[in-house]
Homo-oligomer: A and B are copies of this chain.
């Protein structure tokens, strides 16, 4: 007779994971401006770990697409180009449109999405723009997570992280603030409405808009150094 007991995943973090998390947080929070190099020895003594650990952590982040590696030169915080934005947009469309389609078909629960939507709605009218962007991303993430595919969620998370590299410089435009909430409400309504056709069409327009907004503020795909644009 085996007891049926609920168990929490119990997540241990190794040192390299810890370092990776720390560095990732710094990069995503914009503490490290694009173009700066992450030197192994500096990080090693800063975090009090061996250089090998730092190397492994950086290698992870490079694989995630959050950093760029140049052989024998080091690891750098990349600067998104318009080419990167369109590339990421393609992948984002793939992931989120499939997710929205499945949700519209009735797969998964919209509970998490509604919660994220509520979080956006309950932000004060003068909340910092950054908080709005985060709430926005949280809604999209909730949609993907609602599908229940680990791998889909993982790809999406990685994609969004990379997108945030450029999002840091995305300044507020007045009309965006007011349109953000109703726009996402419409999206969720369309999904709940059950029309795959309508929901995906609305979502694609939404994503296209986001991509063009971002492409506008990001450096053009000129060769500013050819370094940061190409991936490993």
Residues of A at under 8 Å CB distance from B?
Answer: 12, 14, 16, 52, 55-56, 59-60, 63-65, 71, 86-88, 90-91, 93-95, 97-99, 102, 147, 149-152, 154-155, 159, 231
Contacts and interface: CB of A to CB of B under 8 A. Distances in A.
Among A14, A151, A159: residue with most chain B CB under 10 A: A151
Contacts of A91: 149, 151-152, 155
12 contacts: A56-B56, A63-B63, A65-B151, A87-B149, A91-B151, A93-B98, A94-B94, A94-B95, A94-B97, A94-B98, A94-B152, A98-B98
Nearest to A89: B149
Interface SS majority for chain A: helix
A152 to B, nearest CB: 5
Contacts of A16: 59
Nearest to A86: B149
Contact of A94 (B14, B60, B99): B99
A55 B50 CA distance: 15
